[in-house]
Structure 1
Amino acid sequence: MTRFTPRHEKFEVEFYDVSLPSFFCKDTTSSEGDFSHVLSIKTAMDLGIEIAQTRVTLMLACEQLKEASLISKLRNLADAGIRVYLLLGDEKANQRAIDTLSGRCLIRTGIKQQGALLIRDHATSDAHATLLTSCAPLRQTEQLAWATTLEPEQIEDAFRSFCKLFWEHASGEYLQQNRNKACTAHPDGHVITNHSHHLSGALHDCVSDTLATLIAVSGDDFAAPSDEFQLLMQSQSADIKAKARTGVALSESAIPVLMFSQNGHWLLPDQTDLSNANWCLNLSDLQSAQLYKAFNEVFEHAAWQFKDDLTLRDLSPWQQVRFIDSPDTIRTIEFARKIQLTDIHAETIDSFLNDDVRDLASPYTYWQKNALAHVIDYDVVIHPPYCPANAQLDGIYQKWETIEKNWQQQIDSLAALMAKIERQQNGVADKLKGFIKGFLLGQAQSAKGLQQELATLKNWAASKASPAEREQYRQNLHVLSQKIKNRAVDTNQELEKAHQQQQWEQKRTELQTAHTDAFVLLKKAKDDLTSLETTSNQRLTQIEQQFARTWCEAVNALSDKQLKTVLSNDTLGTSNERSALAKPTTEAAECRRSDLIGIGVEQAKALKANVKEHIWKKDFKALDRALANHLQAKNKLSRDLDDAKKTVERSQSQLSHTEQKLREHGESFAYKAKSLALDKQLGLNNNNTDFMHFNWPAEDLPATGTELRALQQKRYLVVFNEAQLSLARKDAQRLNACIVCDKESINA
């Protein structure tokens, strides 16, 4: 079984006949010329020496004066009584010079300038002027600038331009220490210049004829309307790409900005700004001849010469070139290079197995500027197509997993139902087993066969079966579920029947017991009533006797006054007797107390009625209590008789009721079947149709061992060895998938 592994390949490609785009070729056989023999190079020290040579006046024009040594030289010069005129640019940029020199020198500011000008002793026979193409030495000690000495006529031109700018164009003036004031006009009126090319914004018009008829230029061509001239540029220039052409050379040495034409020759500042003042020079014939000769020598020996229409075969190894579309990059041509290509991933598995490495690597072995060589030896690793790292298992697996899970859930539901039935049958109480003993014996035999069928269905995998086999197994599951459901229904019915019979017999026993108890209670109630009726006269006699005793005790306890009160209202006796009693003799009172003791209940009630209620309640409590006790005793005797009679009636009614219940219960048991819903019997929530319903996925899974993945609506069939390819090709076509490998397993 051959695993897939990346292919390590080596091959060679020749590039001799590749046509190169336009480029600059470095001439390593000759040394560059320069302009130092016709133009001097000035430093801050050189300028300090010139300043120190001043005897009468010094004029210095520059954008910024910052170099401390030069500021010190100027201060010393001014302190010696020499007139010093400074024409500077921005006030803030020149604050150091203004702080030191204002009050000593006549300083004016506000003139933006390119280049610099130094004139000393202009009105003497020793007049001298130096024009610098940059004010860099005036800013920092280590900086350099091209410089030339002006001829007398050029000195006069520069002097007048300086005066024009100083008196008429400056915006600020410092006559006293750090005190700026408005500029005053020239005492002799307007300054008349010989030429205007130094003045702000005037240079463009002055050189327009020159630009139209250029012969040679170094530094910048100022967007000349034609390119029929030689152009010498610095190799660090940012404009090389835009200006590369035949007639252009690049110098690695510093070069001044020169223009030669049929209408004038010029030395310009290194950075020319046509909108500002420019300290430039319209060359004399002598200066032009010297500089033009120097230009031709430098151009001819420039390090980089423009080349066109060449092949790699025309260039020797180790030759350095600059292509015009990327002139800031220097590239070297080698005879042979070795390149390790970035790993290549074949688009298809068949391409990985069969295609030649040169064809697979062709998009990466074309000629490239960054790999210049006559011959290139390539080393590359060819990978099979890999499945994207973030691809996930295709949804078909989830569908089949859901189906398999649903299948197992159905099996588990039936197994749970079988277990529930077994628990039901095994958990039958001993008192019920006698009713269904035969049924339980038959169920034990059929359960073994059902369990075997369940095991067969549980071990079956729907995803690995054919459509016909799936349908057959679904039918088998349906038939088995019906058997188990029927078994559940039969078990429930038998248990329900046993419960009903057991409850029926238990109920009959309870009714018979209740009937016997009712009969006993009735007999007891009748006996109690007879006994109460027999003793009622005796109890009545006892009540009367009890009243006589308590009444006698109450009368004997009365005082004479109480006795007199009660007798004055007594209805007993005649009027003469009541009159005689009115006499308070002890003998008469005792006679009447005796008569009062012997009265009956009715007479006692009459006696109470003749006494006012509040007096009776207050003064004759004992008499009142005797009457009340007598009444209570008679009432209780009456209630006891009534209760005994009612108990007999209730007992008779209860006995009739138990007899009626026994008749209604019947003499023999009859089973009453209940209508039970099938899903409740099975413990399921879905109906029978849904329970056995399966939506088989429309697509089958790929062969075992391979894996189908997906990303953004695209499918990938992952294979792990060549033996899987035969089936994988069929599966890939069926599933509309690309055959790929797993990167992690191959590079493990």
Structure 2
Amino acid sequence: MEEILIINKQKEIDFSNEYIRNFWLHSNKTTNIKQESNLITFIGNLEKVTEFINQASEMLCIYSSEFSNEIYNLILDTSTSKRIYFLTNDKSLGKDQLQSLAGNILIRLIKTNYQGSVLLSDVGANFNGLFFNGTLSAKDLEDQNRFLLRLEDEQKEYFIQLYNEWFWKEAEKEILTKDQAENPINIESQPFDFIFPNPDYISVEGIEKTISEIIAQKTNVHISLKNIDNHVANYLNNSVSNLCVYTNLINNNIDKLNILLNNNNSMFVYEGLENENNWEFVTNQNDKFIIINRKNSNQLGWVFNLTLQQIQDFLNILNNVNIVYTYINEEKRTNLINKKIYLPDENREIMINEIDEKILKKIEIPDLISIHDKNDFESNEPKQFIDPKYASKVIYHWEIHPPFLPKNSQKDSLYHKWEKSHLELHKSIENLLVKIEELDSSEGFLTRLSNFFHSSNYNNLNEMKKKVEEIKQTISQKKLYDLSEKEREELYSSLEKLRNDIEKRKNLKALDLKNYKTEKDNELKDKIYKKDSLKKSIEKLNKQINNNLSEIDKFSKDKKSIQNEIDKRKQDSLTQSADSSNK
């Protein structure tokens, strides 16, 4: 009977005519270097701001919401040689820094956070000014996507009045002395009453009116904004058309983008401004080019118009900046193959592939089937083929598994017996490994030598251990009942040989210990015998010495007795000789 096996299935689904909606299409244009002019620069702006501050001879007006250490130190160094008006809301300036500046310059604090920075010097005959569309922080000054604009005559007049409006009218606190650095004093009243010459440039209503007037021209109108959201509803309303709109990739209102697109407007993203579009302007590319600035991040703050020369310079710059993304409302996947798109809802960029492959979960058939139902078995498909959305075609792969057990079946007791045998086998193997370790730590030379000459299946304990580990690995991967009969016979045969070899080695170890004990006992007996023999020899020698000493003593006494006898006889002889002479 033919066996029903696991089968691999696949299915290809064509999504080429399905639409992808609400995305930014990436352009593959190469990077261009931004063109500069004498009036507008992108590179070396820190040096240009430094030069401007140094060249101011009498008076300097500065506004920024943040300052780099280099700019701060420069202001401090020049504060004794010129009159400086310092306006900020920079919370990063600490007490010590404000104390250093206080007394030498007039410091005022404004609550509103105006975007951009303004520097004005020597109001009068040598009046000069700069506008920078960022803060005077090191990060912004080094950002080559931010521009520095040298102000011309009408703009300088506009900016000095704008600065006066901020400094004398809007500022809320001031620092006149060093002891006020920690707690700036409130400004009680404004010393001057200013009438701003162009209120349309500083009120929200006026700014929206100015922008709307340019948009209404409809021909060649370009507008660049930080975000397309509900804040632009008053001037980018549902009726505007024929605009080129520039923004960034994030934080836009998709519904608003689609409304603009449906009204024959186009949406783009400039290279370098993908995550933050800080070029905010509206222009008719002729005589109007309004720079837009904000306050407190999202509210309109103030605007100003470029001069004709600045307009020409800025348009030349824009013509050399790549458009890297174009907003698309919908497009068929077949037209997007091998193209990158950015998905604002998912905040990620992806590539649209021609073919994608997906591995699906396996299908398990719960009930036994007959061989006659094999075709039905093989025709099983997943309940749904989820569209990954970003491929023209998708090949789905899945497996179909036949049932391994009848429905409502239970394990026979034989399985439990097999499992019990399997556990016992595991324990036996672990015991063998323990015995091998014990033998390895205590085998003597005699045992190793005997093993070398003895008829053994393994030359050393390492080989035995390796073989046991192999058997352990085998039964860890397979149950006993999964092994063939031949495999089980070979496994048990190997284990039996290992047990026999271990027993032989244990016996040799016991013999080794017995021989060692006998050898040590014999050595001890030999030492005792030698000790006793030596003791007897010493005693015999001592006795001989004593005998010799007695004989020497006796000889000495005899010698002395003889000497005394000789001396006596000699004396007697001398006495007799004397007596004879006297007679």
- Same structural fold, with TM-score higher than 0.5 when normalized by the shorter chain: yes
| Structure-2 separation of matches of 1:359 and 1:290 | 68
TM-score (normalizing by structure 2): 0.56
| Corresponding residue pairs, total | 383
- 1:343 matched to 2:362? The reply is yes
Q: How does 1:160-179 map to 2 (within 5 A)?
A: 160-179=161-180
- 1:58 matched to 2:60? The reply is yes
- 1:150 matched to 2:147? The reply is no
- 1:304 matched to 2:310? The reply is no
Structure 2 counterpart SS, 1:360: coil
Gaps of 5+ in 2: 412-478, 483-583
Kindly provide the amino acid, as one letter, of the partner of residue 63 in structure 2: A
Q: What displacement does 1:99 show?
A: 2.5
Contact conserved, 1:114 with 1:135, CA < 8 A, in 2? no
Residue in 1 that maps onto 2:212: 209
- 1:183 matched to 2:172? The reply is no
Residue in 2 that maps onto 1:88: 88
Residue in 2 that maps onto 1:233: 247
Kindly provide the amino acid, as one letter, of the partner of residue 329 in structure 1: R
Q: How does 1:365-444 map to 2 (within 5 A)?
A: 366-370=386-390, 372=391, 374-383=392-401
Structure 1 counterpart SS, 2:348: coil
Please report the RMSD computed on the Cα atoms of aligned residues, expressed in angstroms: 4.1
Contact conserved, 2:36 with 2:317, CA < 8 A, in 1? no
| Structure-2 separation of matches of 1:200 and 1:90 | 24
| Structure-2 separation of matches of 1:205 and 1:12 | 54
- Residue of structure 2 aligned with 1:192, choices 195, 203, 208: 195
Structure 1 counterpart SS, 2:174: strand
Q: What displacement does 1:275 show?
A: 5.0
Kindly provide the amino acid, as one letter, of the partner of residue 381 in structure 1: E
Kindly provide the amino acid, as one letter, of the partner of residue 126 in structure 1: N
Contact conserved, 1:44 with 1:137, CA < 8 A, in 2? no
Q: What displacement does 1:239 show?
A: 1.2
Kindly provide the amino acid, as one letter, of the partner of residue 338 in structure 1: E
Kindly provide the amino acid, as one letter, of the partner of residue 225 in structure 1: N
Contact conserved, 1:167 with 1:185, CA < 8 A, in 2? no
- Residue of structure 2 aligned with 1:260, choices 283, 287, 292: 283
Instruction: Mark the CA change 1:381 to 1:103 in structure 2 (over 3 Å): closer, same or farther.
Output: same
Structure 2 counterpart SS, 1:163: helix
Structure 2 counterpart SS, 1:250: strand
Residue in 1 that maps onto 2:470: none
Instruction: Mark the CA change 1:339 to 1:49 in structure 2 (over 3 Å): closer, same or farther.
Output: same
Instruction: Mark the CA change 1:305 to 1:209 in structure 2 (over 3 Å): closer, same or farther.
Output: closer
Contact conserved, 2:64 with 2:136, CA < 8 A, in 1? no
- Residue of structure 2 aligned with 1:330, choices 349, 355, 369: 349
Residue in 2 that maps onto 1:218: 224
Residue in 2 that maps onto 1:18: 18
Q: What displacement does 1:265 show?
A: 3.4
**Deviation digits for residues 715-738 of structure 1 (CA, Å, limit 9, x no counterpart):** xxx699xxxxxxxxxxxxxxxxxx
Instruction: Mark the CA change 1:96 to 1:383 in structure 2 (over 3 Å): closer, same or farther.
Output: farther
| Structure-1 separation of matches of 2:96 and 2:213 | 40
Instruction: Mark the CA change 1:291 to 1:378 in structure 2 (over 3 Å): closer, same or farther.
Output: same
Residue in 1 that maps onto 2:567: none
Q: What displacement does 1:117 show?
A: 3.4
| Structure-1 separation of matches of 2:367 and 2:96 | 74
Q: How does 1:243-258 map to 2 (within 5 A)?
A: 243=257, 245=261, 247-254=266-273, 255=277, 256-258=279-281
Instruction: Mark the CA change 1:719 to 1:49 in structure 2 (over 3 Å): closer, same or farther.
Output: farther
Q: What displacement does 1:337 show?
A: 3.3
| Structure-1 separation of matches of 2:35 and 2:379 | 53
Residue in 1 that maps onto 2:529: none
**Deviation digits for residues 616-656 of structure 1 (CA, Å, limit 9, x no counterpart):** xxxxxxxxxxxxxxxxxxxxxxxxxxxxxxxxxxxxxxxxx
Contact conserved, 1:12 with 1:375, CA < 8 A, in 2? yes
Q: What displacement does 1:95 show?
A: 4.2
Q: What displacement does 1:53 show?
A: 1.5
Identity %: 14
Instruction: Mark the CA change 1:55 to 1:307 in structure 2 (over 3 Å): closer, same or farther.
Output: same
| Structure-2 separation of matches of 1:143 and 1:48 | 16
- The structure with the largest alpha-carbon Rg is 1
**Deviation digits for residues 560-606 of structure 1 (CA, Å, limit 9, x no counterpart):** xxxxxxxxxxxxxxxxxxxxxxxxxxxxxxxxxxxxxxxxxxxxxxx
| Structure-1 separation of matches of 2:366 and 2:33 | 57
**Deviation digits for residues 79-116 of structure 1 (CA, Å, limit 9, x no counterpart):** 22x00001112667564542321111111112413223
Structure 2 counterpart SS, 1:248: strand
Residue in 1 that maps onto 2:335: 314
Contact conserved, 1:91 with 1:109, CA < 8 A, in 2? no
Structure 1 counterpart SS, 2:108: strand
Instruction: Mark the CA change 1:161 to 1:309 in structure 2 (over 3 Å): closer, same or farther.
Output: closer
- 1:131 matched to 2:122? The reply is no
Q: What displacement does 1:303 show?
A: 1.5
Instruction: Mark the CA change 1:273 to 1:28 in structure 2 (over 3 Å): closer, same or farther.
Output: closer
Q: How does 1:574-723 map to 2 (within 5 A)?
A: 706-707=407-408
Structure 1 counterpart SS, 2:77: helix
Q: What displacement does 1:72 show?
A: 0.8
Instruction: Mark the CA change 1:178 to 1:64 in structure 2 (over 3 Å): closer, same or farther.
Output: farther
Larger % of helix: which?
1
Contact conserved, 1:200 with 1:275, CA < 8 A, in 2? no
Q: What displacement does 1:71 show?
A: 1.0
Kindly provide the amino acid, as one letter, of the partner of residue 326 in structure 2: Q
**Deviation digits for residues 671-700 of structure 1 (CA, Å, limit 9, x no counterpart):** xxxxxxxxxxxxxxxxxxxxxxxxxxxxxx
Q: What displacement does 1:313 show?
A: 3.2
Contact conserved, 1:85 with 1:107, CA < 8 A, in 2? yes
Kindly provide the amino acid, as one letter, of the partner of residue 187 in structure 2: C
